[in-house]
Amino acid sequence: MDIYTIIFLALAVFIFLRLRSVLGQRTGNERPPFDRTARNALGGAPDKNVVTMPGKVIDQAPLAPTAEPTPPSDRWKGLTEPGTPLAQGLDAIVDKDSTFDPRHFISGARGAYEMIVLAFANGDRRALRDLLSSEVYESFDAAIKDREKNEQKTETRFVSIDKAELVGAELRDRTAQLTIRFVSQMISATRDKAGSIVDGRADTVADITDIWTFARDITSRDPNWKLVGTGSAN
């Protein structure tokens, strides 16, 4: 055995002894590794020295807390009483479309009501086509054509919409139908070619009550409702 081999063996033994003194020896009585997850799950205090690292789990939006179920007596509070045909109709619609909110619908219906009335007065067929069912559109279009034939123009101005009240709700197969009673004040007059008023009054506020029905296929991705029926209590 040459001198170099002896030197390498001596170095190997020295390194082995140093590592053993640093790492120690296993005796079989060592504690298991500390599990912070298990400790927290068992109710132990969280380790304040643990730093959460960024990652996909941290970036994920937290889940919304589970909402308490609304008691049947409060579900349609302010809209109708429990057990009424209106409440039963709303229940049927919500059971098939959990995103439906009648209060949000009423707010949108107020805007649609004013838009449709003004579009009809101005003969705006393009606006009406997007808001009406084909049957109602044909009826409105016939009235507009009649005005055009007689060279008449209608002037309408809203003063206020005093009430938009949900009075009917029904689910027919896949189609939800909601009926609203609108109570409004408006000024409306129709003039002939010479400018003379042939219908209504241009200086008088009239109280108007309209009962309109809107419908929507709840299985459709299109969220828009269309006017499918009109009536008046005046």
Residue 129 has pLDDT above 60, yes or no: yes
Tell me the residue type at 105.
F
**Which pLDDT band, with edges at 50, 70 and 90, does 92 fall under?**
very high
Better-scored residue on pLDDT, 137 or 72: 137
Instruction: Report the distance separating Cα 107 and Cα 110, nearest Å.
Output: 5
Residue 45 scores a pLDDT above 50: no
- pLDDT band (50, 70, 90) for residue 166: very high
Q: Which CATH number is associated with domain 82-233? A: 3.10.450.240
Give the least confident one: 6-20, 75-89, 163-177: 6-20
Domain range list for the chain? 82-233
Rounded mean pLDDT of 165-189? 96
Cβ atoms of 86 and 79 within 8 Å: the answer is yes
The rounded distance, in Å, linking the Cα atoms of 186 and 200 is: 11
175-191 sheet: strands from edge to edge: 153-172, 175-191, 197-217, 226-232
In this structure, are residues 208 and 186 in contact, taking their beta carbons and an 8 Å threshold? yes
The pLDDT of residue 232: 80
Q: What is the pLDDT of residue 61?
A: 35
Pick from 143, 159, 135: nearest CA to 199: 143
Q: What is the rounded average pLDDT of the residues 89-118?
A: 95
Largest Cα–Cα separation, the chain: 130
Q: State the angle between helix axes of 134-149 and 102-122 in degrees (0 to 180), rounded to the nearest 10.
A: 30
| pLDDT computed for residue 222 by the predictor | 87
Find the range with the poorest average confidence among 18-32, 38-52, 146-160, 193-207. Answer: 38-52
Residue 34 confidence (pLDDT): 33
CA 52 to chain centre: 35
Whether the CB-CB separation of 150 and 81 falls below 8 Å is answered with no
**Regarding beta strands 197-217 and 226-232, do their DSSP bridges make them parallel or antiparallel, or are they unpaired?**
antiparallel
Residues in Cβ contact with 183 at an 8 Å cutoff, skipping those fewer than 6 apart: 161, 162, 163, 164, 165, 207, 208, 209
pLDDT band at 2; cut points 50, 70, 90: low
* DSSP label at residue 132: B
| Pairwise CA distance, residues 149 & 145, whole Å | 6
Tokens of 161: 């919409």
Q: From CA 162, how far away is CA 157, in angstroms rounded?
A: 14
**Chain position carrying tokens 């003379």:** 196
Q: Averaged over 179-183, what is the pLDDT?
A: 97
Q: What are the φ and ψ backbone dihedral angles of 79, each rounded to 5 degrees?
A: -110, -45
Q: What is the pLDDT of residue 233?
A: 72
- Asked whether residue 161 carries a pLDDT value surpassing 70, the answer given is yes
